[in-house]
Amino acid sequence: MKKKIGILTGGGDCPGLNPAIRGCVYAAEKYGYECVGITDGWKGLIEGTTTPLSREITEYIIMKGGTMLGTSRTNPFKQDSDENLKKCLETFKKLDLYALVAMGGDDTLGVATRLYKEHKLNLVGVPKTMDNDLSVTDYTFGFDTSVTRAMEASQALLDTGASHHRVMVLEVMGRHAGWVALYTAIATAADFVCIPERQIDTAAMLKKIKDAYARKRFALVVTSEAAELPAAGEDNIKHQLDQFGHRILKDRGMGEHIASFIEKNTGIETRNAVIGHMQRGGAPTLFDRMLATRVGLKAAELVHTGQFGTMSALVGNKFVGVPLEKATGQLKTVDKEWFDLMGLLF
């Protein structure tokens, strides 16, 4: 009887999950394992819902966005009782899993870390997130595709902004880290960028925009959905939280706040656009297909060599196993080195 590896994808989807599943299945079968998909993230492990996986089934998913396994933001450790956790452990047993490969960001891998440490399950992680904010891996797949999509949107805004002599504001995702906003802004020669790591210096922003407008009669600002604008008056707004305790930012309207702040304080006509979930879907870029395939392959190797409690990571030019705990301990956010670079570019 072949040993069985379960694979699940949790948290927000992103392009690259399908290539990663495929890579993991291909390598696992080569090593002599069979694979089964757990559907909809940790929810599937609680409810015991599965879907078959094989080389044949995954052959052509490398070019598809989303995840063929489905996903959810379910947190089995969330409930007051340990009912859901118990169900996860039962499913693991019932499915006769030798190991489980969990593909996700900080939240999903945080659950994987606890299942490994506290319940001695054979867990291996695969890093994914369009936010690119996981530590101990140089990049996470999903980021390159999302930024590419945001970059295209930003460039389109430049065209229309230049024609109408307006200030254009683009809002992109990025819950705790400003990587998507920063890369998009750099790549499209924006005049100002707003990221959650640094409160917006409104005087500096207005000056940059006025100067840019005087020079070329349009200006572009890229903001993360999570940026802080002191004038937005958010202090009294109660935010909804997801199962992992994160603020849900979809109705926050930071791009809109920034656009009306700019228009009010400069007198220049300003428009804003939100790219939203469009940056999370669609075909993965070449970079993401390759990165995802390789972290998927590596995850199967980590299982095969018994390196449980680790995550496959890109470090330099190498794919290595790193402790899951290190990957989830602290988010990778925009730091001083990048602030200096921002000073030069914006």
Least Å from the CB of residue 153 to ligand F6P: 15
Contact between 175 and ligand F6P by CB under 6 A: the answer reads yes
| Closest alpha carbon to 284 in 61, 40, 132, 24 | 61
The stretch near ligand F6P (CB under 6 A) out of 77-85, 168-176, 263-271, 287-295 is 168-176
Verify binding: residue 314, ligand F6P, rule CB under 6 A. Answer: no
CA distance 218 to 211: 10
131 is a catalytic site residue: yes
Q: In what order do the strands lie in the sheet with 167-172?
A: 192-194, 219-224, 167-172, 270-274
Q: Please state, in angstroms and as integers, the Cα–Cα distance from residue 324 to each residue in 20, 201, 280, 317, following that order.
A: 17, 36, 24, 20
**Which stretch, 93-101, 170-178, 230-238, 263-271, contacts ligand F6P (CB under 6 A)?**
170-178
Q: How many CB atoms lie within 10 A of CB 80?
A: 5
Does 25 engage in binding with ligand F6P (CB under 6 A)?
no
Site for ligand F6P contains 131 (CB under 6 A): yes
Closest approach of ligand F6P to the CB of residue 111, in Å? 15
Cα dihedral 342, 199, 238, 278, rounded to 10, equals -10
Torsion from C-alpha of 294, 308, 333, 274, nearest 10 degrees: 60
- The C-alpha atoms of residue 73 and residue 18 are separated, in whole angstroms, by 18
Work out whether strand 50-53 and strand 34-38 pair parallel, antiparallel, or are unpaired.
antiparallel
Six-digit token pair at 326? 């290190």
Query: By C-alpha distance, which of 66, 18, 28, 79 is closest to 282?
Result: 66
How far is 59 from 16, CA to CA, in rounded Å?
A: 14
Residue 249 interacting with ligand F6P (CB under 6 A): yes
Which residue, judged by CB position, is nearest to ligand F6P in the bound state?
A: 12
What is the closest distance, in whole angstroms, from the C-beta atom of residue 68 to ligand F6P in the complex?
18
**Min CB(146)–ligand F6P separation in Å:** 8
In this chain, which of 30, 250, 264, 318 binds ligand F6P, going by CB under 6 A?
250
Residues between 214 and 233 with contacts to ligand F6P, criterion CB under 6 A: 225
List the one residue from 7, 8, 9, 11 that touches ligand F6P (CB under 6 A). Answer: 11
The single residue of 13, 106, 107, 131 carrying the catalytic annotation is 131
CB of 242 to ligand F6P, least distance (A): 7
DSSP assignment of 290-339 equals HHHHHHHHHHHHHHHTT-TTEEEEEETTEEEEEEHHHHHHS-----HHHH
23 contacts ligand F6P (rule: CB under 6 A): no
Contact with ligand F6P (CB under 6 A) among 35, 130, 185, 258: 130
Q: How many chain residues interact with ligand F6P (CB under 6 A)?
A: 12
Nearer to ligand F6P, 31 or 139 (CB): 139
* Pairing outcome for strands 123-127 and 97-104: parallel
Question: According to CB under 6 A, which one of 6, 10, 12, 66 is a site residue for ligand F6P?
Answer: 12
The reply on whether position 100 binds ligand F6P by CB under 6 A is: no
CB of 280 to ligand F6P, least distance (A): 6
Output the six-digit token pair for 215: 């020079």
User: Which residue lies nearer to ligand F6P by CB, 281 or 323?
Assistant: 281
- Binding residues vs ligand F6P (CB under 6 A): 11-12, 129-131, 173-175, 225, 249-250, 280
> Which residues are known catalytic residues?
131
